[in-house]
Amino acid sequence: MKAKQNEEPQAGLAMMSLAALGIVYGDIGTSPLYAFRTALGYVTIDQASVLGILSMIVWSLVIVVSIKYLLIVMRADNHGEGGILALLALIQPWRGKASIGKKSLLVIGLFGAALLYGDGMITPAISVLSAVEGLQTIEPRIARFVIPITIVILLALFSVQWRGTASVAVLFGPVMLLWFAAIAALGVLNIVHHPVVLEALNPVYAVKFGLAKPALAGVVMGAVFLAVTGCEALYADMGHFGRSPIRLAWFACVFPCLVINYFGQGALVLSDSVHASQPFYGLAPTALRIPLLVLATAATVIASQAVISGAFSLTRQAVQLGQFPRMEIRQTSAEETGQIYVPTINLALAICTVALVLAFRSSQNLAAAYGVAVSTTMVITTILLYFVMIYRWQWKLWYVLPLTLCLAVIDLTFLAANSLKIMEGGFFPLAVGALVFVIMRAWSFGRRRIVRFLTEDGMNLDVFLEELRGKDVPRVPGTAVFLTASLPRVPRALMQQFRHLPVLHERVILLNVISDEVPSVNARGRFEAQDLGQNFTVLHLHYGFMQSPNIPVALRLYAEVDNSLDLEQLTYFVGHETIIPSQRVFFLRRLQQKLFMFLARNAMRSTSFYKLPPEKVVELGVQIKL
């Protein structure tokens, strides 16, 4: 009986690990298509250079992926969820009166999150393009079709996002398992003919290469970094599977298969340097290249899907935390809360990804733009991790400081190496990240000013209720729900309605939606109600940053607790904000105000964002001065 009980958790762990292969390791798993080839483009092909590059790749995988992310960073989960915003929430910089240091951490963390959008644009482009370029090894004359085929695949990928991935996600794991098995088998076939490459397991070869050619090694490090891109996505997807399945998938499958394949490519190049231009496809016999091309394309599509889904998830987190304008977020699965579709982000990613393919035209050229944003985000993750270790975990400084310094040195080395790519295209993901960051800061600034205006200006709720006691105010049947963020002040919409039409509904609910710094809030913890008397109720609805608010559904659940709430006789009152910019501010602040006003005009209306039925909504104009 005990044996059977032990088998079930093990079987569950195995299935979760298989699923993790498809979602988590797509980006890192398809790096052999271009990482080693890109590094070879900077050196003269000889044994010392090949072994040095292989050693740098292997030990980058060990230190960055295995030690930093899988063993250390993944310990920093926010109720099971990972990602840079979850890491930022652990430090809790926006609770209470934030100090300058905590505000700085918030800014740094948000910039790191913004950079991931640049990664989300380049990963599909370089992954799919590098796979399709395998056509050139089969028939050089069809090389002119590589770009069109790549664009068709990418457009097809983005065009089906609205359907969600729930129906095909079950195939991701088996396909990626087949991929890793195939690349390992190809690696073994070539290693047996040139086993000297196994010496690259010794880190001395990486050190010798770096000392012999320091300037060249710095450039090569930028290419070696391509082998570890995907770590941030790995951390962000932790909430879907948990630590154990992700770690098991890496150490039991992904890591050994990647190392074997890289070593196989090295062995192939040492045996014949003519394969340096396409060492991955050169591993396969000619008869197997078409099946390998099909498998590689499927693997890169899966890798791209993971990054696109990550961009959707990051957007929802930012919107819920008040750091990004409201936009349409569609749930594509009734079972999986993480299955969402964000039309605006999908369109932006599609346009930019196709533009990248047309602009750079080869994965080798795209590699020059890839890595700058990701390496910057890794540095930011290390900074935030330091504060989590000190203040959240309360580890000793004598232990945390040397550990952080070691990780920071490696991250900064990669960042310095990738900085050399800025003029070759690396400016693009930085520019995208900077644009997203500016939008985040402008939106956050504007919303804070609005909330401050609403809470500092207007009548206190206690005073308003006290005045009502001495008046004979007519009450009409039904329930009025006023959405507000101005508590303990009277909602502006309520004051507007009462001023122009001095009657009140039989029951008044002042509803405040709160985004907590946790991934999710269960239905039992959703409601926080306070009876104010005179049939006035303050109702707080709590949501996690991985959840999308739905007020009618929440009130339906609340009605099961409060039997007096009649959902049929219910009207929502929402303030329609007209923003008036302040003229007495300096130039940059005025630009920020104008950007916020533009974003506010184009943001999704609160009625749609909160899923309010239009026929039950009354909008009242409210003027707000920034």
**How many other C-beta atoms are found inside a 10 Å radius of the C-beta of residue 93?**
22
Residues 6 or more apart whose Cβ sits within 8 Å of residue 485: 450, 451, 454, 512
* 3-class secondary structure per residue, 511-567: EEEEECCCCCCCHHHCEEEEEEECCEEEEEEEECCCCCCCHHHHHHHHHHHCCCCCH
**How many other C-beta atoms are found inside a 10 Å radius of the C-beta of residue 330?**
14
Spatial CA neighbour of 603 closest among 312, 340, 307, 322: 322
**Interval 470-521: pLDDT, tens:** 788 888 888 999 988 878 888 888 888 888 888 888 899 999 988 887 777 8
∠ Cα 23 26 30 (to 5°): 170
Residue 137 pLDDT grade (very low, low, confident, very high; cuts 50, 70, 90): confident
Which amino acid does the sequence have at 280? F
Q: When comparing pLDDT for 51 and 242, which is higher?
A: 51
Token pair for residue 59?
Answer: 């030990």
What torsion do the CA atoms of 45, 51, 57, 61 make, to the nearest 10 degrees? Answer: 160
Question: Three-class SS of residue 460?
Answer: strand
Token pair for residue 130?
Answer: 């590098």
- Per-residue CA distances from 303 to 127, 129, 279, 587 (Å): 8, 12, 21, 43
∠ Cα 80 81 85 (to 5°): 145
Residue 263 has pLDDT above 50, yes or no: yes
Residue 97 has pLDDT above 60, yes or no: no
Token pair for residue 168?
Answer: 């095909």
DSSP string, 472-509: ---EEEEEEEEE-S-TTBPPHHHHHHHHHS--EEEEEE
Residue 190 has pLDDT above 60, yes or no: yes
Residue 278 pLDDT grade (very low, low, confident, very high; cuts 50, 70, 90): confident
Residues 6 or more apart whose Cβ sits within 8 Å of residue 265: 32, 36, 37, 187, 190, 279, 280, 282, 283
74 and 314 Cβ atoms separated by less than 8 Å: no
Mean pLDDT rounded to a whole number for the chain? 84
Residues 6 or more apart whose Cβ sits within 8 Å of residue 129: 146, 147, 150, 357, 362, 363, 366
| CA gap 96, 92 in Å, rounded | 9
Residues 449-453, mean pLDDT to the nearest whole number:
79
413 and 221 Cβ atoms separated by less than 8 Å: yes
pLDDT of residue 253: 93
Instruction: Give kind and range of the element (H or E) at residue 569.
Output: none
Tokens 């005045």, residue?
Answer: 467
| CA gap 327, 483 in Å, rounded | 18
| CA gap 397, 401 in Å, rounded | 6
pLDDT of residue 11: 59
Token pair for residue 286?
Answer: 């000619």
Residue 367 pLDDT grade (very low, low, confident, very high; cuts 50, 70, 90): confident
Sign of dihedral through CA atoms 195, 230, 241, 85?
positive
Q: How far is CA 244 from the centre of its chain?
A: 21
Tokens 């909602």, residue?
Answer: 491
Go through the domains of the chain in sequence order and give each one's CATH number.
Answer: 10-446 (1.20.1740.10), 459-625 (no CATH)
Q: How many percent of the chain have pLDDT more than 70?
A: 93
Residue 110 pLDDT grade (very low, low, confident, very high; cuts 50, 70, 90): confident
Of 96-100, 457-461, 518-522, 579-583, the poorest mean pLDDT is in: 96-100
Spatial CA neighbour of 224 closest among 356, 55, 380, 45: 55
Residue 199 has pLDDT above 60, yes or no: yes
Residues 91-109, mean pLDDT to the nearest whole number:
63
**How many other C-beta atoms are found inside a 10 Å radius of the C-beta of residue 145?**
14
Of 3-12, 27-36, 150-159, 201-210, the poorest mean pLDDT is in: 3-12
328 and 315 Cβ atoms separated by less than 8 Å: no
pLDDT of residue 154: 92
Residues 546-574, mean pLDDT to the nearest whole number:
86
Q: When comparing pLDDT for 253 and 239, which is higher?
A: 253
What torsion do the CA atoms of 343, 348, 352, 355 make, to the nearest 10 degrees? Answer: 80
297 and 305 Cβ atoms separated by less than 8 Å: no
Residues 418-424, mean pLDDT to the nearest whole number:
82
232 and 377 Cβ atoms separated by less than 8 Å: yes
344 and 439 Cβ atoms separated by less than 8 Å: no
Which amino acid does the sequence have at 127? S
Residue 4 has pLDDT above 70, yes or no: no
pLDDT of residue 149: 92
pLDDT of residue 1: 39
Q: How far is CA 264 from the centre of its chain?
A: 33
pLDDT of residue 8: 39
Could you tell me the pTM of the whole model? 0.82
| CA gap 475, 503 in Å, rounded | 6
pLDDT of residue 166: 59
Residue 5 pLDDT grade (very low, low, confident, very high; cuts 50, 70, 90): very low
| CA gap 559, 107 in Å, rounded | 40
pLDDT of residue 98: 47
| CA gap 101, 132 in Å, rounded | 47
Spatial CA neighbour of 313 closest among 342, 291, 284: 342
Residue 546 has pLDDT above 80, yes or no: no
Q: When comparing pLDDT for 110 and 297, which is higher?
A: 297
48 and 209 Cβ atoms separated by less than 8 Å: yes
| CA gap 211, 207 in Å, rounded | 6
Q: How far is CA 433 from the centre of its chain?
A: 12
Spatial CA neighbour of 316 closest among 308, 307, 326: 326
Tokens 């969600």, residue?
Answer: 164
Query: Ramachandran region of residue 611, left (φ > 0), alpha (ψ -120 to 50) or beta?
Result: left
| CA gap 184, 264 in Å, rounded | 8
Residues 452-456, mean pLDDT to the nearest whole number:
74
84 and 112 Cβ atoms separated by less than 8 Å: yes
Cis before residue 488, ω within 30 degrees of 0?
A: yes
Residue 52 pLDDT grade (very low, low, confident, very high; cuts 50, 70, 90): very high
Token pair for residue 268?
Answer: 């192939």
Tokens 């482009």, residue?
Answer: 125
Residues 431-454, mean pLDDT to the nearest whole number:
86
pLDDT of residue 295: 93
| CA gap 61, 335 in Å, rounded | 34
DSSP-derived letter for residue 578 is E
pLDDT of residue 10: 60
321 and 330 Cβ atoms separated by less than 8 Å: no
pLDDT of residue 3: 42
Residue 247 has pLDDT above 80, yes or no: yes
| CA gap 582, 596 in Å, rounded | 12
Residue 9 has pLDDT above 60, yes or no: no
